[in-house]
Structures are given as C-alpha cells and as structure tokens.
C-alpha cells in the first residue's frame, strides 16, 4: 500500500474518521496498532511474523535489562543485538556474503559452491531493526525506562506513518506520545495535510518524472552521449532527494494529523558547506543513529590512535552506512567516498582557509558559502554514480562515458516537454525550500503577515500539480527497498 496510491487514500480517510469520531481515547493506541498491522500486511502478510518476533525479543530484553544488575545486563543486550542483526543479515546479506566468499574461494582455487536463498526482504526491515535496537540500547545505557506495555511498545515499532521507511525514531521521542491523549485539532490537521501535500509534490512531480529520464539514460549508457549522462546523474540526485524527503514529509504530516510528532529527516542538505555538514542534514535519523551507536563508541575505543582512530572510525561508519542501503559493493563504495571526502576536508582545512584569505573570499561570506555549497553538491552527486549503478562495472562505465567527450549538440534525449516541466517544478521546489522555508516552519509561515496567502498557495499549487500528474501513475518509493 503505497502512500501515492488510491488504496492508501481510502485507508487514511477510514482510519482518520474512525480514530477521531468513533474510537474512545483509551483504545486509540490499540486501533492504531491494528491499522498499522493492516497497513504492513498489505505487502506480504507473513512478514509481520518476523516483525512481531523482533518486537517480542526487544520488549522482553528491555524489561530484563531494567531488572538485571552488573554484567547480566550486557548479556540481555547481546541477545537483542544478535536477534536483530542476525535477522537482518539472514534476509538482506546472506546471499551477498556467500557470493563474495565463493568469489574469493575461486581466486585461491578452493572448491566452494555457495548456498543462495530465494527469499524476499521484509519491507522496511533495516528501519525496524535500527529503531527497535535503539530502544534496547537506551534502556541499557539508563537513558530510557523499560516500556511495560507490550502494545505501546509494538506501536512504537509499527506506527504506520513511519513503518516502512522511517524516520528511525528514538524511544525518548516517541514512546511517551503513545501514552498521551490526542484530541482532534483542526489547526494541527491542516498543518499535517500541508506537509503531506508538499511531500506528494516532491514525489509525484519531481522524483517520478525525473526517474523516467534517469531510468532511460542508465538503461543505455553505451548508446548515450556524455552530456546526457552527466545531466542524468544530476537528475538522480534530485530524484533521490525528492523521493525520500517527499516520503519523509508525508510521514511527518500524516503522523501530525493524528497528533504525533516525528523527526524531520532532512534539513536543506544542499545548503551544506561541507560533506560533514551535509550528513547532519541528510537522512538525519540514520546518520545520527550511526553517529551515536557506532562512530562515537569506535572513536572512543580507538582514541589512543589519535587522528588515525578518527579516520578509521569514519571509514567503518560510512562503509556500514553504504552497506545498510543495500547488499552491493556499489553502496559500500558510495559510503567510503563520504568518509574520504570528510577526511579530505579535515586534512585540507588550514590549506583551504589560507586560499580563502589570500583571494579575499573571506570578505564575501555569501559568495564563499555559495561556492562551498556548489562544491559539496558536485562531490555528493559524483558519489551517487555508485549509488545508482547496478554494479561497480557499470559505475566505471558511467565515469568513462562522462570523460570520453562532451558534445552540447547531443542533448536531444532531454529535449522534451516532460524535462521542461520537471525543471520548472524543481526550480519551484528549491525556491520554496531555500527562500520561503529557509528559516521558518509551516506553522511560522501560516502565522506571518502574508501567511494565509503563502500557505494557501502551497496547498492549492501542490494539490493542483499532483492531480495533474497523478494520471501518469506513481512509482514506488526508492527507500522502500532498504
């Protein structure tokens, strides 16, 4: 059941009406849990058993950790980690590691026939595992009390607005919300619907249309000229951003309609002046999760190695960020490139500062900021060649094609009405995000002097555009596969 589908709109309307008009407040948590189960089972019903297995393990491990003392607490934490990461490994990485083991065995002339499983990946498993693990870790660290209500804990993991693609919530932010009463609020519902419409605009108008062009180019790299490949790579960056941030906006708005506040997953990442800053603005819930639970412990453990320990921690963390996205070496390379960029920024910081001072750029902060943002965007976009490519070989073929000669006369594949419309929509998106929403939330905009006009314009414009494009059909969200 995709957010951008008629079945979801019917589901949402039914849940909304029943939640506020029929269901008593004391049973609303149960109603949301049942609705979340129905939502998840619309994909592959039997996978909900895996989800409830992880929920049960972490619920009971959290209680046992809270009751235990000394080293026994760590044993229960380890049980949770093994159950969660073991499940994730089995479904997502078993074949990947077996295939690579077979390749290594072949190189050293060992006879090894890999066992490959024909199994589907449960929807959103990577998100579920990280969210559920964060609860157990926080209980272990003493920063979160163990949740005694099994149904509330299950709802924390399964809440349907963020069930399949995040954001990855922390227990301190969400659990107490499920214990609170949420009455109907017309103002809050309107805010939520505005945010949802904004997300639908990103997804249906920019991501889906851009995806058609990107898919066309990437399916025929040898027969495509260099300029077209370059533009397709740039378009993929916008496609992925609008696809995932669009989903995140829909999730945030949807939760807000029911009175719940989710974490914002993106904060104008393309305004970043460094790759390190970009990763504080891009997929915030994932990057902060790995910062807190992987990078910081590694950097502390390797602190005696000094800066080399920091570099190693960055490489491990970002390699795993890449691997989290998919069982393919292309994702690992994508992740490692982020670490290389950040390490490069650290190593060249003084050198770059001297250059900026020597050419007088420090006296022009806005120009300096703009140049930094452009460089960061170019580097980030270059790394997406590996993210989008089906293999390392295809990624290399794309790079070779880009540098094999650029001809301005060979852009006819992009000379279409669809490309023109999508370009206009993209410009509109970034004008709103960078100029209108730069320092204000949707609430602040609506409360300003011209707030009602701006707010109404966003709603009417987004809704009209969405309906205009809807008949083309909506593609699935890219991050659903992770």
8 A C-beta contact, residue 174 and residue 159: yes
| pLDDT (mean) for 123-139 | 96
Q: Which of 365, 384, 402 is the last residue of a domain?
A: 402
The whole-angstrom separation of Cα 263 and Cα 174 is 9
Portion of the chain with pLDDT greater than 90, in percent: 67
- Check whether residue 48 and residue 115 sit in a common domain: yes
194 to each of 201, 283, 445, how far by Cα in Å? 11, 21, 11
- Check whether residue 421 and residue 387 sit in a common domain: no
Q: Which of 156, 179, 202 is the last residue of a domain?
A: 179
- Check whether residue 22 and residue 144 sit in a common domain: yes
Closest CA to 267 of 130, 445, 441: 441
Please give the pLDDT value at position 2.
80
341 to each of 138, 312, 346, 379, how far by Cα in Å? 31, 13, 9, 8
Q: Do the domain assignments include residue 175?
A: yes
| pLDDT (mean) for 467-482 | 55
pLDDT at 9 > cutoff 70: yes
pLDDT at 119 > cutoff 60: yes
* Domains identified in the chain, total number: 3
| pLDDT (mean) for 321-325 | 96
| Range of the structural domain that residue 147 is part of | 6-179
Please give the pLDDT value at position 425.
58
Please give the pLDDT value at position 449.
52
pLDDT at 328 > cutoff 80: yes
Q: Do the domain assignments include residue 251?
A: yes
Closest CA to 8 of 442, 470, 429: 470
List, by residue number, the catalytic residues.
325
The whole-angstrom separation of Cα 217 and Cα 419 is 13
Q: Do the domain assignments include residue 1?
A: no
What's the gap between Cα 457 and its chain centre? 28
| pLDDT (mean) for 80-85 | 98
Model confidence at 463, pLDDT cuts 50, 70, 90, reads low
- Check whether residue 175 and residue 50 sit in a common domain: yes
- Check whether residue 240 and residue 333 sit in a common domain: no
Please give the pLDDT value at position 440.
46
| pLDDT (mean) for 400-423 | 62
Q: How far apart are the first and last CA of the chain?
A: 16
Q: Which of 118, 145, 179 is the last residue of a domain?
A: 179
- Check whether residue 13 and residue 125 sit in a common domain: yes
- Check whether residue 28 and residue 92 sit in a common domain: yes
For residue range 27-77, what is the model confidence (pLDDT) as tens digits?
Answer: 999 999 999 999 999 988 999 999 999 999 999 999 999 999 888 999 999
- Check whether residue 173 and residue 226 sit in a common domain: no
- Check whether residue 298 and residue 326 sit in a common domain: yes
- Check whether residue 152 and residue 252 sit in a common domain: no
Please give the pLDDT value at position 447.
53
- Check whether residue 360 and residue 344 sit in a common domain: yes
For residue range 369-398, what is the model confidence (pLDDT) as tens digits?
Answer: 999 999 999 999 999 999 999 999 999 999
Model confidence at 211, pLDDT cuts 50, 70, 90, reads confident
Q: Looking at 167-171, 196-200, 220-224, 325-329, which range is the least confident one?
A: 220-224
- Check whether residue 151 and residue 85 sit in a common domain: yes
């Amino acid at each position: 059941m995709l957010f951008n589908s008629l079945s979801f709109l019917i589901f949402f309307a039914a849940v909304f009406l029943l939640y506020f008009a029929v269901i008593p407040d004391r049973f609303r948590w149960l109603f949301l849990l049942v609705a979340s189960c129905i939502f998840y089972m619309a994909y592959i019903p039997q996978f909900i058993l895996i989800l409830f297995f992880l929920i049960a393990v972490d619920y009971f491990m959290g209680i046992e950790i809270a009751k235990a003392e000394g080293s026994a607490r760590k044993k229960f934490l380890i049980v949770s980690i093994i159950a969660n990461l073991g499940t994730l490994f089995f479904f997502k990485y078993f074949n990947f590691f077996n295939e690579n083991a077979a390749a290594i065995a072949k190189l050293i002339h060992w006879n090894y026939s890999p066992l490959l499983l024909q199994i589907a990946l449960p929807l959103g498993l990577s998100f579920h595992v990280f969210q559920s693990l964060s609860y157990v870790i926080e209980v272990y660290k003493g920063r979160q009390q163990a949740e005694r209500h099994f149904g509330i804990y299950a709802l924390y993991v399964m809440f349907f607005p963020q069930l399949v693609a995040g954001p990855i919530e922390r227990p301190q932010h969400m659990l107490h919300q499920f214990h609170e009463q949420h009455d109907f609020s017309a103002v809050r519902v309107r805010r939520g619907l505005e945010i949802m419409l904004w997300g639908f605009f990103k997804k249906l108008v920019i991501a889906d249309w851009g995806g058609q062009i990107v898919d066309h180019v990437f399916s025929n790299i040898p027969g495509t000229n260099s300029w077209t490949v370059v533009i397709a790579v740039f378009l993929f960056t916008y496609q992925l951003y609008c696809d995932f941030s669009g989903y995140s906006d829909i999730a945030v708005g949807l939760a807000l309609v029911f009175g719940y506040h989710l974490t914002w997953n993106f904060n104008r990442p393309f305004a970043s002046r460094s790759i390190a800053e970009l990763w504080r603005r891009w997929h915030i819930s994932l990057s902060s999760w790995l910062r807190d639970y992987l990078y910081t412990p590694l950097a502390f453990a390797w602190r005696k190695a000094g800066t080399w320990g920091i570099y190693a921690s960055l490489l491990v963390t970002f390699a795993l960020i890449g691997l989290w996205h998919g069982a393919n070496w292309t994702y690992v390379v994508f992740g490692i490139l982020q670490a290389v960029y950040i390490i490069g920024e650290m190593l060249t910081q003084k050198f770059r500062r001297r250059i900026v001072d020597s050419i007088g750029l420090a006296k022009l902060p806005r120009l300096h900021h703009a140049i930094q943002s452009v460089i960061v965007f170019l580097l980030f976009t270059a790394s997406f060649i590996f993210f989008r490519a089906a293999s390392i070989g295809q990624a290399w073929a794309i790079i070779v094609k880009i540098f094999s000669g650029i001809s301005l006369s060979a852009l006819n594949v992009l000379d279409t009405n669809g490309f023109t419309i999508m370009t206009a929509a993209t410009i509109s998106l970034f004008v709103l995000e960078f100029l209108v929403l730069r320092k204000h939330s949707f609430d602040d905009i609506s409360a300003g002097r011209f707030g009602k006009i701006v707010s109404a314009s966003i709603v009417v414009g987004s809704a009209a555009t969405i309906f205009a494009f809807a008949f083309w059909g909506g593609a699935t969200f890219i991050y659903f596969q992770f």
